[in-house]
């Protein structure tokens, strides 16, 4: 289980770094910009969560492998990767959304915070990488736009399910797997069927 | 007094959430964007202050009621509120500016920081919600623009008055009330008489 | 040595405040905007570093002189400074880049973080003031653009040299001076010869 979590985390980080690097290329940035955007995309949510919860030094500062992987993947993606369809990145990105949301909620529960705040931290961990990436590219965050398929909503629903399962003393591994799984599947369905939130 | 402070805080948070939600609607965001903008608008200044001072976990993480109120107010404002004149929000917003500025300065004095830093923290707490909201809406913060009526300046003057009164051992409640009152009145006068800062 | 470091730091902060104030004027901001941009430009990198490492309260909150100097310099630059050529600011800015990069790496080594993270913190400390300044002025950070002369790269190379010298037990003062010196010289050469990073 530990190993699976480990592998999934690195898949998600790698996907974030790739899409960050490709995004940077679209904005005529150099490798400095690409590396920063890749970092922000991959670690922005978790960094926000750790800052708000007071968990410092931040996780990617303690474990240098996150930085090394991100550097290498960004270098390769920025200079060598071509013709990669956006669709290919949706699956690892959805894995990341599921994992990071549940991780954010788990850390909050460990600090004995209330369920609503734990859900909030789950969503923040899941979406804020993309929010900060878009701000650095000087545009309104994609996840806020009414035309975007459900993203934060998937994280919101799956994290609530995780919290409720935990409430009923479900096994942690089961609760986490179900929560992350729901987020993953919901996200893919949202993209497939172009599901968006109701407009005002 | 405690109760009054409590009520005033929630009035200010509610006003911030309403104006955040309406702002989000103007930018064609969905409810995810609206909730985030409302949160940032209401808690951005206090969050900045707590991060800089090292007061973690952040205040709105410890007390879940802030999140609950903001959620509910945003949902209602985003989907149901129409034809609300901007002018109506100026009064509760000015209450918030006064309260949050004095609160920021008070926390800094508790940490025995110098008066100039306490004033700075007061102003940051008062204005940074709006600054971060505007950045998320992809525009130069309104409070920085030379055409905007005095805003940070009101906070700056009132917070200095509060600090000076504290210096002369004035009763805390009196010093706070005078400081916040000056900010509130100055802000309303600035809007009424279109007072701006001198251009270079 | 202590005195020299002290003087160099204030030269760098002053230069950052001046260029921040002038930048604000270009965007039709008032003195509130100018002060904020000057602060962000001067202290944004160090603030980011301290937040990520958990060193709170932040350095410029503990020592009020940073705020006082920045206030005074900004007021003067915003209202009185005219016809100052951009080129004049390149030298003190390069001093700041060198100093702040090495300082960021030093703090990281003190926390026994890995070399790669120390380099990262060095670069973040060196460049993030400018990144946050540009974001507040609503544009893609200059240091990310492929047309910008080497900036983060100078910090990256010089910080690695500093780290490697430290590794071989070089005297701290010598390692710091060499590292900061390399960054300073590289940056001036990059501007002089319009050196940029290779495009993808």
> Which DSSP string do the residues of B131-165 spell out, in sequence order?
HHHHHHTTS--GGGBTTS-SSHHHHHHHHHHHHHH
**Which one of A109, A117, A118, A195 makes the best mutation probe of the B interface by having the most chain B beta carbons within 10 Å?**
A117
Choose among C27, C32, C61: nearest Cβ to B117. Answer: C61
Whether residue A83 has pLDDT greater than 90:
no
Tokens matching residue C48: 């980011």
Burial of B7 (0-12, 13-18, 19+ CB in 10 A): exposed
Domain boundaries, chain A: 2-192
Q: What percent of chain C has pLDDT over 70?
A: 99
Q: Helix or strand or coil: residue C195?
A: coil
Q: Give tens-digit pLDDT for C3-23.
A: 777 788 888 889 889 988 988
Alpha-carbon distance A83 to nearest alpha carbon in chain C (angstroms) = 13
The number of beta carbons lying within 10 Å of the beta carbon of residue A90 is 17
Residues of B with CB under 8 A from a CB of C: 51-54, 108, 111, 113-114, 116-117, 120-121, 127, 131, 135, 138-141, 143-148, 151-153, 196-200
Judge whether A50 and A104 are in contact, CB under 8 Å: no
Give the model's pLDDT for residue C1. Answer: 62
Could you tell me how many residues make up chain B? 200
Residues of B with CB under 8 A from a CB of A: 24-25, 27-33, 36-37, 47, 51, 54, 56-58, 61-62, 64, 67-68, 71, 78-79, 135-138
Choose among C28, C64, C78: nearest Cβ to B117. Answer: C64
Give the model's pLDDT for residue C7. Answer: 84
Tokens matching residue C40: 């962000």
Q: What percent of chain A has pLDDT over 70?
A: 99
Query: Measured between alpha carbons, how far is C92 from C141 in angstroms, rounded to an integer?
Result: 20
ipTM score: 0.91
Alpha-carbon distance C19 to nearest alpha carbon in chain A (angstroms) = 21
Give the H or E element holding residue C115: helix C115-136
Whether residue A151 has pLDDT greater than 90:
yes
Q: Which residue has the tokens 């069927």?
A: A193
Give the model's pLDDT for residue A34. Answer: 95
Alpha-carbon distance A65 to nearest alpha carbon in chain C (angstroms) = 9
Phi and psi for B145 in degrees, rounded to 5? -80, 140
Tokens matching residue B82: 């129409």
CA distances from residue C122 to A31, A106, C97, C119 in whole angstroms, order as listed: 17, 32, 9, 5
Interface contact C137-B138, CB threshold 8 A: no
Q: Give tens-digit pLDDT for B72-84.
A: 999 999 998 887 7
The number of beta carbons lying within 10 Å of the beta carbon of residue A68 is 13
**Which one of A25, A27, A33 makes the best mutation probe of the C interface by having the most chain C beta carbons within 10 Å?**
A33
Region of residue A150 (left: phi > 0; alpha: psi -120 to 50; beta: else): beta
Query: Measured between alpha carbons, how far is A98 from A183 in angstroms, rounded to an integer?
Result: 5
Of B157, A156, A161, the closest CA to residue B165 belongs to B157
The chain A residue lying nearest C112, using CA atoms, is A62
Whether residue B40 has pLDDT greater than 90:
yes
Alpha-carbon distance B15 to nearest alpha carbon in chain A (angstroms) = 19
Q: Which residues of C touch A57 (CB under 8 A)?
A: 52-54, 111, 113
Q: What percent of chain C has pLDDT over 90?
A: 75
Give the model's pLDDT for residue B1. Answer: 62
Whether residue C89 has pLDDT greater than 90:
no
Give the model's pLDDT for residue C97. Answer: 94
- The rounded mean pLDDT for chain C is 92
Give the model's pLDDT for residue B120. Answer: 95
- When pLDDT is averaged across residues C108-114 and rounded to a whole number, the result is 93
Choose among A32, A61, A78: nearest Cβ to C200. Answer: A78
Interface contact A37-C151, CB threshold 8 A: no
Alpha-carbon distance A52 to nearest alpha carbon in chain B (angstroms) = 6
Give the model's pLDDT for residue A120. Answer: 95
Q: Give tens-digit pLDDT for C22-77.
A: 889 999 999 999 999 999 999 999 999 999 999 988 989 989 999 999 999 999 99
Interface contact A36-C144, CB threshold 8 A: yes
Burial of A192 (0-12, 13-18, 19+ CB in 10 A): exposed
Q: Which residues contact B157 (CB under 8 A, 6 or more apart)?
A: B182, B183, B186
Give the model's pLDDT for residue B83. Answer: 76
């Amino acid at each position: 289980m530990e190993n699976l979590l480990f592998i999934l985390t690195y898949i998600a980080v790698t996907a974030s770094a790739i899409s960050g690097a490709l995004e940077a290329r679209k904005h005529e940035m150099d490798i400095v910009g690409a590396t920063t955007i890749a970092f922000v995309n991959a670690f922005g949510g978790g960094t926000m969560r750790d800052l708000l919860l007071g968990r410092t030094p931040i996780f990617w500062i303690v474990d240098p492998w996150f930085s090394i992987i991100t550097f290498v993947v960004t270098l390769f993606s920025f200079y060598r990767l071509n013709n990669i369809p956006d669709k290919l990145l949706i699956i690892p990105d959805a894995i990341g959304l599921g994992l990071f949301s549940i991780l954010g909620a788990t850390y909050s529960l460990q600090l004995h915070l209330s369920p609503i705040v734990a859900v909030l931290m789950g969503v923040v961990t899941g979406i804020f990488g993309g929010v900060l990436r878009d701000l650095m590219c000087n545009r309104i965050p994609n996840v806020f736009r009414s035309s975007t398929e459900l993203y934060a909503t998937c994280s919101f629903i799956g994290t609530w399910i995780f919290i409720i399962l935990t409430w009923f003393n479900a096994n942690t591994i089961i609760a986490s797997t179900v929560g992350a799984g729901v987020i993953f599947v919901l996200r893919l369905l949202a993209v497939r069927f172009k599901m968006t939130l109701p407009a005002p």
